[in-house]
Structures are given as C-alpha cells and as structure tokens.
Amino acid sequence: MTLLYASTFTKALTRLTAAEQKQVKITAFDLAQDEAGNGLRLHRVEAAPGFWTARVTQDLRLVLHKDGEHTLLAYVDHHDAAYRWAERRRLVPHERTGAMQFVVVAEREQDAAILPAVQTIGAVSGADAVAHAHEDHATLSARPFASLSDDQLLDVGVPRDWLDAVRAADQTSVEELFELLPDEAAEALLDVATGGRIEDHVAATAVAGADPFAHPDAQRRFRAVAGVEELKAALDAPFAQWAVFLHPAQRGPVTRDWQGPVRVSGSAGTGKTIVALHRAVHLAGAEGARVLLTTFSKPLATALADKATLMTEALPERRERLTVRALDQAAYDLYAAAFGQPSLATASQVRTAIEAAMKEGRGAGHDAAFLFEEWDEVIDAWGITDVESYTAVPRLGRKTRLGPKQRESAWQVFAFVRDRLAARGLTTWADVYARLGQWVAAGKGIGFTHVVVDEAQDLSVAQARFLAAFGRAGGPNALFFTGDLGQRIFRLPFSWAKLGIDVRGRATVLKVCYRTSHQIRSIADRLLGREITDQDGLIEARTGTVSVFDGPEPVLALVKDETSECDTVSAWLSAALAEGFASKELAVLVRGTAQLERGRAAAKAACADLPVLTMHDAKGLEFRGVAVMALDEDVLPDADRLAGVGDIADLEAVQDTERHLLYVAATRARDRLMLAGVAPGSEFLDDLK
C-alpha cells in the first residue's frame, strides 16, 4: 500500500482555520500509521467510485481515494462541500499520456453555467465542430481552440470528456475553463490563447504497465510519502505548494546526471530557486556528499536555509550533508580556515589610495571616477597584477578604448593601490576568491563535493573563477547554477566559458511561471525583449513562457506631482486592504534610498504598516501586491549613476542594469501591480504602454 497526497488536498487545507487544520493533520497522521484506514470512520461516496470520506470532526470530512494499491489524500472541506467535490471528480489515467488525473465531470449544470457555449454543442461531434468553426471566421476568432483536433487536445493531456467543451469555450470563459482542466492541459491552452503553438506542449507518453502516479505530469499534483514523519514535514511546511509538487520541466534538471556544469534559467517566478533547493537536497542524498547551497546575499541565503530546513524535515541525513550560506560568507569562512581571517579593504580605502596616487602625479589623462570603476570592474575583478596582463584582459562592458600610453598611465595608479593595500595588510574579495581558487587547484579540499548557486546571474568574475576551479577539481555534477539574465542588476556581463564554466549543451530554460499573473508577467517581459544573449552566445528566449493564473491588468499612473502620486498610491493600497489583502502581503518599492520617504508617505496615508524597500533590497522577495513608486524621468534610470560613469561610452550597460531593476521590481508582485511616477515618467515605461 502506498500513501499519497494531492496538491488539491494541500490547497484545501490552507483554506481552513488553524484549529481545523490541526484536526485534519491528526486524522491524516492516523491514516499514515494505518493506510487501510481501519482506525478511522470511513464512508464510501456512492456517487464517486473509489472515493471515501474520513470523519475529522462533526462537520469536517477528509476525502480519500482508495484503489487497493494506493490511498490518496485528495481533498478536505466541510461535509456537504467535501461530498460535492468528490462526486464531481474521477481519478483516472489519461488515455493518451498515461498520467493520473483528476477529471471534473463535465456533464453538470455547474459547468454549463461556467461555459454557456457547451450548451449549444448538443450532439455535434468534435470533427463537425471543427468544420463549423472553419466556416465561420468570427466564431473561430471568438473561440481560440475551435480549430484544434481531438488528437492535438489529447496530446497535451485534455481529458476526452472535455474535448468539445474546450473547443466551444469563448474568450470570456477560458479562465474558468483552465480551473477545471489538469495543469498540463491548461498551460498548453493558455499558451495557444496567447499566440503559442500547441505542438510545443505534447506530453510524454507512459510505457505500458507504468505506474500512472509516476508520470512527470502526475508528479506535479501527487506525492508519495514514506510514513508519518514525511507527511508531517510536508503538511506543516508554510511553504509555497509548488516547492513540493514539481513541474516536469523542473524535475528533469533536479534529478538528471548532467556530466558537467549546468545552468537553469527562466523568467521571474518560474521556480528557479525551487529547482536549486530540490537539486541540493537531491545531491545530498548520496553517501559522502557535502553540498553547499549558496546565493549572493545573506537575506536570500537565510530564506533558502529556512526552505531547505522544511524540505529536509523527514530527511535528517540529507540535512546533515547540506550547508546553506551566502557565497561571500562561505568564502570568508573557507579562507579563514585555510589562511587566517582576511582584513578586507573598503571602497573608501581604495578611493583614498587612488586620490593619493593622483596627487603624486600618477594617472595623467584620467579622472578619479574612471579609475575607480576600472579598478573595480577590470583590475581587481580579473586579478590583474602587471601591466602586461592589463593590456590583454577583455574589457567587457568597458567600451572606451585605451591606447598603450593611457593604460600605462592608469597602471601607475593601480600599482600604487596594490602596493598600499599590501603594505597595510588589506586584501579584496577578488583576492580572497583568487587565493581559494589556487588552493583548490593545488588539490586542497574545501569540504564540499557539490555547489549549487541560486541567482547566479550576479556572480562576479572572481567568484566565477573560483567556482570554475572547484568544478575542475570536483566530479561531473559538482556545479549547478540557477538564474535569470534579465534580473542581472549588480554585475556587468562576462564570458563564463572563458573562465572555465562552460554550460553550452547543459543550459535549460523554464517556461511555466507560478508566482506572477499572466498580466503582470506579460507587462514586465516587455522591458527585456523577446530574447537575451549572454557573452557565450547562449540565447534565453523570453517567448513561450506561460503563467498558471490570471489577474487584473497592472495600473500605470503618471501624475502631475509627488503629492498626487502619494494620493494615488495610497488609494490603491487602501483598496487592496479593503479587499482583504494583509499589510505584509503588500509592498512599496522605489529606485533608491532617496525615494524611500515618498514610499513611506504613501504607506502612512493608507494607514498600512507594510514594507517600503529599494528595488535592490526586494530582490528574491515576493508579495501579493506591489506599488512601484517614484518612476520619474530623472530617477530611473538613476541620473546620478549616469552622471558618475567614468567611461562615457559605457552607458548601454548601465542602462541595461537600470532596466533590469524595473523588471525585478515589477515581478515581485503576484496578483496586483501599480507603477507610479511624476509625468512624463521613466523612459522605460514607454515600453509598457
């Protein structure tokens, strides 16, 4: 007997009160101890073959499905609603794909009310419906799936009972239709409705005799558990449901033996962080494994650690083999263990050294701003220690050409800076990573067998070099990266392959967005274009991404002054609160610290105690509703940043990171998004109109 639980059960559980959830979990744990349910008061649902109910309280009922080999926790609700849910469903393998599905019984008045077009189909066959659709172009336009054949619909997992209903659905009813179909079918049809091809979504076909619960699409909605502890961990986790129920496109990268460095990318909200978590836990399952799960900031690492703790609640041996830390924190600890604690130079100390060098007459022909940027993005980043190396280094993102004399003049300053830092016992982060890379290359271990990096688009050159050295010294699955080039906001681009991390042939793009509504994602994607190409020629296509839910259109408000902006945003926040949004589910985001007061004023006017953050600080976070404020002409892109660019021709790279900032801010929103500023507004908003 195998005990499973369904995503429909975990969704239903979250809608109950805390006291009710506790009672349901006790009943579920009793079932886990005795999967036959002998100790429970079970009642067969006569109108739904295979379904049973278990009494939780006088009114609550746990819906089970039992077939002799499997006992499934399917749903939970109050008595009448629980029975009604079960009576309207069948649990069957799909005839074409073999994936186990809940199929909603279509021949009911409730569905006729949702899909009025179904009533007009009558006894018309699927083929006749298609022919009729071709005869009437207006009907075809109003019904986006009218021309799809039985085979096309079956290939993407549409149940046979729903073929005619799908073709009859008009544009006003497709959202309700998607709620009634299995996820894989709904995603395919949503892509078709928004201009995609149904051929891109043909589901895998199971081999004869295969377990229908083992199909990749079935594993999105059903999970087997090994006893009470694993069930308890799953049900107690206050953690996004899709962290447990993986999409097939997510599961593949997690479990595959890649034989080299891997990069998983995708638009915001496509589950890259979840893939990184599952990959780390998967790798930790091997005897002798020591896995580092890491990212670029401490807050994000803390969030990863919390999720990893939940995922390994019933897997203590994997938890023991898994370390979660920010990359700089991990590097600092490794360096301290190997060489002693480093004394790190600050940016102000470097600037002071540059100014001292210039006072001595070094660096003629250059200004201090350019020299600091050149130090930060070229000299220190690439670990350059002599003028010959400086001549040969690729200056990606630094488009001003420097002749030999200009480089020699600049190098006089950089040599001075290196000597001063060394004399004072100071080192830089780039030096820390360089020395660790040499340590690994010399055959010295760092205590880890695998490194999984989330938000890898913001790796520095020095970090990438160190990881490349680790990858060369480790096994074929030593390195795994997740990230989104469209969210690169901290670093200029560079070639991974030239540093020793070649993911060509092992790069995959996720296309299903779970976090952000179709309307918000569609607007945000306009900021980045249809595809992004990295420095190694790998293309990340932004097209074909599908959000699994809809929401209201984002609101764009360009007003006459800051007072009007405050009034507009506070009214939007107040409306969300009145609709039942909690304060912690809302956020106000601004470009930088100079605009924080504008955001706080709007939150105060709405009487809302909610986060007011800079766009950088919001990276990795998510909220049900987000208001992005102060999108003024001279705020985004940041005027001070543009004015301070020492390399005048380097504006394009700066513009790109500023554009990515707005993309990051907009995609922190799940359901509601407002973009506000003083007219005429940021130039980037022109792409959204």
For the chain, the domains span: 2-95+212-234, 100-201, 238-338+432-541, 347-426, 552-687
Cα dist from 333 to 444, 449, 483, whole Å: 15, 17, 25
Computed over every residue of the chain, the mean pLDDT equals 85
Peptide bond into 93 cis (omega under 30): no
DSSP state of 427: B
The string of pLDDT tens digits covering residues 594-627 is 999 999 999 999 998 999 999 999 988 889 999 9
pLDDT at 397: 47
pTM, two decimals, is 0.72
In terms of CATH architecture, what is 238-338+432-541? 3-Layer(aba) Sandwich (3.40)
Fold of 552-687: Rossmann fold (3.40.50)
What would the mean pLDDT of 651-673 be, rounded to a whole number?
86
Q: Are strands 222-225 and 2-6 parallel, antiparallel or unpaired?
A: antiparallel
DSSP string, 502-520: --TTSEEEE-EESSS-HHH
pLDDT at 205: 87
Least confident segment among 118-127, 314-323, 325-334, 399-408: 118-127
What would the mean pLDDT of 80-105 be, rounded to a whole number?
94
What would the mean pLDDT of 482-509 be, rounded to a whole number?
83
pLDDT at 21: 86
pLDDT at 107: 54
- How far apart CA 470 and CA 478 sit, in angstroms, is 8
What would the mean pLDDT of 575-587 be, rounded to a whole number?
93
- Answer yes or no: is pLDDT of 455 > 60: yes
pLDDT at 629: 97
Could you tell me which CATH number the domain at 2-95+212-234 has? 3.30.2310.20
- Nearest alpha carbon to residue 276 among 290, 287, 292: 292
What would the mean pLDDT of 103-120 be, rounded to a whole number?
53
Q: Contact at 8 Å (CB) between 242 and 183?
A: no
Give the other-Cβ count within 10 Å of 23's Cβ.
16
Where are the alpha helices (H) located in 67-202, listed in sequence order?
79-87, 109-114, 116-121, 126-135, 137-142, 150-155, 163-168, 174-180, 183-193
pLDDT at 139: 44
Q: Are strands 555-559 and 669-678 parallel, antiparallel or unpaired?
A: parallel
More confident residue, 441 or 313: 441
The string of pLDDT tens digits covering residues 180-198 is 899 889 888 888 887 788 8
pLDDT at 422: 94
> Could you give phi then psi for residue 303, rounded to 5 degrees?
-65, -40
Q: How confident is the model at residue 487 (pLDDT cuts 50, 70, 90)?
A: confident
- Answer yes or no: is pLDDT of 257 > 60: yes
pLDDT at 201: 87
Q: How confident is the model at residue 569 (pLDDT cuts 50, 70, 90)?
A: very high
pLDDT at 152: 94
- How far apart CA 443 and CA 477 sit, in angstroms, is 18
- Nearest alpha carbon to residue 97 among 181, 192, 208, 19: 208
Q: Tell me how many helices (H) and strands (E) the chain has.
A: 28, 23
Cα dist from 145 to 150, 165, 166, 370, 513, whole Å: 11, 10, 7, 57, 22
Q: How confident is the model at residue 120 (pLDDT cuts 50, 70, 90)?
A: very low
Give the other-Cβ count within 10 Å of 572's Cβ.
21
Q: How confident is the model at residue 333 (pLDDT cuts 50, 70, 90)?
A: very high
The string of pLDDT tens digits covering residues 526-539 is 888 777 777 777 77
Tokens of 199: 């051929």
Identical fold, 2-95+212-234 and 552-687: no
- Nearest alpha carbon to residue 267 among 637, 496, 529: 529
Cα dihedral 32, 34, 40, 44 in deg (nearest 10) = 90
pLDDT at 391: 78
> Could you give phi then psi for residue 514, rounded to 5 degrees?
-100, -25
Q: How confident is the model at residue 484 (pLDDT cuts 50, 70, 90)?
A: confident
More confident residue, 394 or 305: 305
Where are the alpha helices (H) located in 209-268, listed in sequence order?
228-236, 248-255
* Relative orientation angle of helices 562-578 and 596-605, to the nearest 10 degrees: 50
- How far apart CA 298 and CA 91 sit, in angstroms, is 44
Cα dihedral 232, 233, 235, 237 in deg (nearest 10) = 150
What would the mean pLDDT of 325-334 be, rounded to a whole number?
96
Least confident segment among 110-119, 535-544, 595-604: 110-119
Q: Which residues contact 632 (CB under 8 A, 6 or more apart)?
A: 677, 678, 681, 682
